[in-house]
Structure 1
Amino acid sequence: MTDSPTTAATRLVQAYYAAFNAGDRETMLGLLTDDVAHDLNQGARETGREAFVAFMQRMDTSYRERLEDIVVMANVDGTRAAAEYVVHGEYLADDAGLPPAHGQRYVLPGGAFFAIRDGRIARVSNYYNLEDWIAQVG
């Protein structure tokens, strides 16, 4: 039996976050389209897998994060999905334009929106409250 489009989209996003939590960047990349659009929280859009790899390398240098309480929802045709989660993190190394890092821990609600095309993620738009994060690590 084949999954419904809604179930397939939900499973795709769940697999993306499972790979994130496992630190399995190769699996994450395999779930993305070649031309993936990545909307950074309060920042610019980056396009393509190479840009996504560079972003993840920057993130892995400065942060150790695990997402918990993940809830994924998808539309009926499986072309869009959304996720809500809680980030449990540690700020490991200075990130440009942000407060100095010295191992501060933080817990922060976040969310993301996804566009899905041909069984892969074509867009990831991430959102969290930057002021809340700065208050926790500043």
Structure 2
Amino acid sequence: YGIPFYLQYLAHWPEYFIVAEAPGGELMGYSATALMLCMFTVMGKAEGSVAREEWHGHVTALSVAPEFRRLGLAAKLMELLEEISEKKGGFFVDLFVRVSNQVAVNMYKQLGYSVYRTVLEYYSASSGEPDEDAY
């Protein structure tokens, strides 16, 4: 995604942006966009129906720098995002993850998430590769 996408999220849902920082001030997370490198660790939003006043949280991006993985950081960031969603009146949190990303799929399952459905060709591929499905 480009910078306008992230800025729109930041403007609408600033409370859903969480950054993790090492004791020395080093940022431990980053987004997939090179221009946004080391700015965001977890990014989410609220989704739902204004008419029915039904809301839920949605994890848009979660990333931890390789040197800080396997420390429980992703689980803590998810916990914080879930708490924010609950305080805002959300009754669940959802997300999409690449079918091929078994490390992430397993982590989310350990955190209590389950596969609700498969969304065919959710992720656009580059350089002639086929699009990828998501859970």
Q: What is the TM-score with the length of structure 1 in the denominator?
A: 0.26
Q: Which has the higher contact order (CA 8 A, sep 6+)?
A: 1
**TM-score normalised by the chain length of structure 2:** 0.26
Question: Normalized per residue, which structure has more strand?
Answer: 1
